[in-house]
Amino acid sequence: MKIFNGKILFLDRSDINTDEIIPAKYLTELTKEALKPYCLEDLSLPGFDPKRDIAGKSVIVTRANFGCGSSREHAPWVLECNGINLVIAENFARIFRQNMFNCGLMAISLKKSEIDEIFATFAGAEATLVTDLAKKTFTVSNAKISKVFAFDIGEFDLELVKAGGWVNYADSKY
């Protein structure tokens, strides 16, 4: 099972699409690792610099409808290549969300009020998130404060995370 802890990359915008996460011109790459330098290259977000802001981050916290658009699994792959195994948002585009769990990664929805609270309390400074899958909680901390948020994860999604993805799961069952 993958690790779902680490420093948070805050992306304060809704409807971040797959073309922004990994532009189509890089879809000719034949390995996942080759995508690594192009993560979030076309993201429209004032102040965001992919070359500066992604390194060392392990969790994305963002707003609504993250990963909308294309079916390209290159989007979860490029996040994973950069050490990001967990995205937390108000909701996700269906295909992106399924792709995350299919890879054994996590895409977790929190209520809008909780996302608002995380942004209000922690964005703008270094913050860390620790996942407790057994208790289904995230602990978000900075130098001064620490807050715990409960989350829901579907039984089947959890199976995929534990199995390390859908290929392993399906091959053992069907």
Partner 1 sequence: MGKTVAQKIFDAHTVDTPAPGVRVLSLDRVFCHEITTPIAINDLVAIGKDRVFDPTKIKAVIDHVTPAKDSKTAEQGKTMREWAKRQGIKDFFDVGENGVCHAIFPEKGFIRPGFTIIMGDSHTCTHGAFGAFAAGVGTTDLEVGILKGVCTMREPATIKIVLNGKLRDGVFAKDVILAVIKLLTVNGATDKVIEFAGSAVDDMRMDSRMTLCNMAIEAGGTCGICYPDMVTVDFLWPFIGKDFSSKDAALAEYSKYLPDADAVYDKVVTLDVSEIEPQVTFGYKPDQVKSVREMEGTAVNQIYIGSCTNGRLEDLRIAAGILKGKRISENVRAIVSPATPKIYREALNEGLIAIFMDAGFCVTNPTCGACLGMSNGVLAAGESCASTTNRNFNGRMGKGGMVHLMSPATVAATAIAGVITNSPLFTGK
Give the footprint of partner 1 on this chain (CB under 8 A): 14-15, 17, 19-20, 23-25, 27-32, 42, 44, 64-65, 68-73, 76, 91-96, 98-99, 102-103, 154-156, 159, 165-167, 170-171, 173-174
Angle between helices 94-102 and 166-173 (to 10 degrees): 70
Asked if 96 and 76 count as a contact pair (C-beta separation under 8 A), the reply is yes
Q: Largest alpha-carbon pair distance within the chain?
A: 50
Q: Cα separation of 161 and 70, whole Å?
A: 23
The least CB distance from residue 124 to partner 1, in Å, is 24
Considering beta carbons, is residue 90 or 127 the nearer one to partner 1?
90
Q: Cα separation of 121 and 21, whole Å?
A: 25
Considering beta carbons, is residue 21 or 127 the nearer one to partner 1?
21
Q: Cα separation of 40 and 124, whole Å?
A: 19
Considering beta carbons, is residue 24 or 145 the nearer one to partner 1?
24
Considering beta carbons, is residue 52 or 154 the nearer one to partner 1?
154
